[in-house]
């Protein structure tokens, strides 16, 4: 390989490494889904304050490092949706978000819990970052990440 060929290969490798380091994490702010991933494996939930990079439709233990799979509106089961949420231990990296456990009373509506971590093992009791500041029971449904189709045919319009 010539000197210029080696230089081009090194530059390409460096660019690849640098671009990988710029990938957004679960919970990062966003405006559109490509802010979160150009590969289409993450979406931007724009209903959350400042947008929220997430994976919709996660399975237990399937979220990227630093995230947990949270099931929202699990009763009745037909309303269930799952999203990867940023895992936290004491605080969240973004303003307007709080580190909560799935049994936090601010994640309830009418005495029914709206969220639960579905991961198994040690991550089962993990906390996650959610926009809960100033939430009342009447408005708590706005916490729930949006689905790609917000229309629910079971609810008369």
* pLDDT single digits (tens) 16-53: 433 444 568 999 999 999 999 998 899 999 999 999 99
Residue 45: phi and psi, rounded to 5, are -85, 100
Residue 25: phi and psi, rounded to 5, are -95, 165
SS3 state of residue 108: strand
What mean pLDDT value characterizes the chain? 76
pLDDT, position 61: 93
> Please, what sign has the CA dihedral across residues 59, 74, 79, 149?
negative
Which is more confidently placed, 108 or 59?
59
Q: Annotate 90-119 with b (16+ C-beta within 10 A) or e (fewer).
A: eebebeebbbbebebebbebeeebbbbbbb
pLDDT, position 145: 59
**Is pLDDT above 90 for 90?**
no
Residues 142-156 have a mean pLDDT of 44
Helical spans, DSSP H, in the chain: 3-21, 33-36
pLDDT, position 5: 54
**Is pLDDT above 90 for 137?**
no
């Amino acid at each position: 390989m010539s000197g210029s060929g080696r230089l081009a290969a090194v530059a390409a490798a460096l660019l690849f490494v640098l671009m990988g380091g710029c990938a957004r994490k679960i919970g990062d702010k966003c405006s559109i889904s490509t802010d979160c991933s150009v590969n289409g494996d993450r979406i931007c939930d724009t209903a959350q304050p400042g947008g929220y990079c997430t994976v919709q439709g996660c399975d237990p233990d399937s979220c990227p490092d630093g995230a947990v799979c949270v099931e929202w509106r699990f009763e009745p089961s037909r309303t269930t949706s799952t999203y990867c949420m940023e895992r936290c231990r004491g605080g969240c990296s973004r303003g307007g978000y709080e580190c909560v456990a799935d049994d936090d009373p601010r994640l309830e509506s009418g005495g029914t819990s709206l969220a639960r971590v579905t991961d198994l093992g040690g991550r089962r009791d993990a906390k996650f970052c959610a926009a809960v500041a100033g939430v009342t029971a009447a408005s708590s449904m706005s916490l729930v990440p949006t689905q790609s189709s917000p229309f629910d045919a079971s609810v008369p319009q």
